[in-house]
Amino acid sequence: MQAHIPVLRREVINFLAPKKDQNFIDATVGLGGHATLILEETSPRGKLLAIDQDPSALEEAKKNLKNYKNRVSYVFSNFDELGLLIRNWPVEEISGILFDLGTSSNQLSSDRGFSFLKNHPLDMRMSPNTALTAAKIVNHFPEAKIRQILYRYGEEPMGGAISREIVSARRKEPIKTTRELVKIIDQAIPEREKAKRKIHSQHFATLTFQALRIAVNDELTVLENGLKQALQILSPGGRIVVISFHSLEDRIVKQFFRGSEELEILTPKPVIPSQEEITNNPRSRSAKLRAARKLMG
């Protein structure tokens, strides 16, 4: 497993502003990096609700947070069910909710096909309860639907060429692995386009893999629902902090914050990692943090 380094750790604590004995929700606890920081600030009696839809991540979080076991409640679920999940969490006030979106280091190192740098089955499910897989999309969806997914969720300008190449390849044999899909994408994208992306440190398969992952997990709809429920359950004066990793997520967060009369925006512009953090943790390069506070009364 890759070493886990929480992204924007100082900034998360700065904007969540956890204090002694306050209660928080980590809606995407992952391996518990941010959760550890929150628990340290809210000792000795502050509670944390740790949610994750990935059971393997939740088990790792339990190990990493064992020193705080009496203060942490773990829930295997998606954060778009926040309103239901807190009914069994015996706290009176919720001072903050953190969403750290995207794939974790645990998922990228798994065998579920999130990374195009490894050869694994085309799965891409964050939760085993999800019915759809990336393999089902590339092998069974109509060409027009695949093209729509690549354009909408990946903002992939070569979506038409890639979807045509996918349909052509699957006529010969099913597309089963990440390596097979990368080869198909490679054939569909012109060399000049691949060279242009390389200049910007972007692999030619990045946008396609992003689009398929978002479609499999319905990530944008889940985010919209999660934000709405977070605002409902947050106590007055409480804070919402969201770390996103691509423009589609960031746009949803920005529009939600701006569109709510109940929120005071704390980040007029998204907070991004320092060059030092990017050097130490390249995964943080595309991270953007937005924060807002629920108004009193």
Nearest-angstrom CA–CA distance, 186 and 284:
26
Express each pLDDT in 134-176 by its tens digit.
999 999 999 999 999 999 999 999 999 999 999 999 999 999 9
In angstroms, the CA 136 to CA 139 distance is: 5
At 182 the pLDDT is: 97
Global pTM reads 0.92
57-66 pLDDT, tens digit per residue, is 999 999 999 9
**Is the per-residue pLDDT at 201 higher than 90?**
no
- In this predicted structure, the answer to whether residue 3 has a pLDDT above a threshold of 60 is no
How many whole angstroms from its chain centre is CA 70? 27
Alpha-carbon span 21 to 44, nearest angstrom: 6
Quickly state the pLDDT bin for 1 (edges 50, 70, 90). very low
Those residues whose C-beta lies under 8 Å from the C-beta of residue 168, and which sit 6 or more positions away, are none
Number of H helices, E strands in the chain: 14, 7
Q: What percent of the chain has pLDDT over 90?
A: 86
Average pLDDT over residues 183-200: 95
Distance separating alpha carbons of residues 137 and 212, to the nearest angstrom: 8
pLDDT digits (tens, 9 = 90+) for 19-32: 999 999 999 999 99
Q: Which residue spans within 12-133 are E strands per DSSP?
A: 24-26, 48-52, 72-76, 96-100
In terms of CATH, what superfamily is 9-107+219-294? Vaccinia Virus protein VP39 (3.40.50.150)
Rounded Cα–Cα distance for residues 211 and 185 (Å): 13
Q: How confident is the model at residue 2 (pLDDT cuts 50, 70, 90)?
A: very low
56 versus 289: the higher-pLDDT residue is: 289
The count of residues in the chain is 297
pLDDT at 16 exceeding the cut of 60? yes
Please state the domain extents for the chain.
9-107+219-294, 110-217
Backbone angles phi, psi at 138, to 5 degrees: -75, -25
pLDDT in tens, 238-285: 999 999 999 999 999 999 999 999 999 999 999 999 999 999 988 889
Q: What is the pLDDT of residues 208-242, one digit of tens each?
A: 999 999 999 999 999 999 999 999 999 999 999 99
Instruction: Tell me which of 1.10.150.170, 1.10.10.410, 1.10.3720.10, 2.30.30.100 is the CATH number of domain 110-217.
Output: 1.10.150.170
Which pLDDT value is given to residue 71?
97
| 83-124 tens-digit pLDDT | 999 998 999 999 999 999 977 666 565 678 888 888 999 999
Q: What is the pLDDT of residue 110?
A: 65
Of 56, 59, 66, which Cα lies nearest the Cα of 36?
Answer: 66
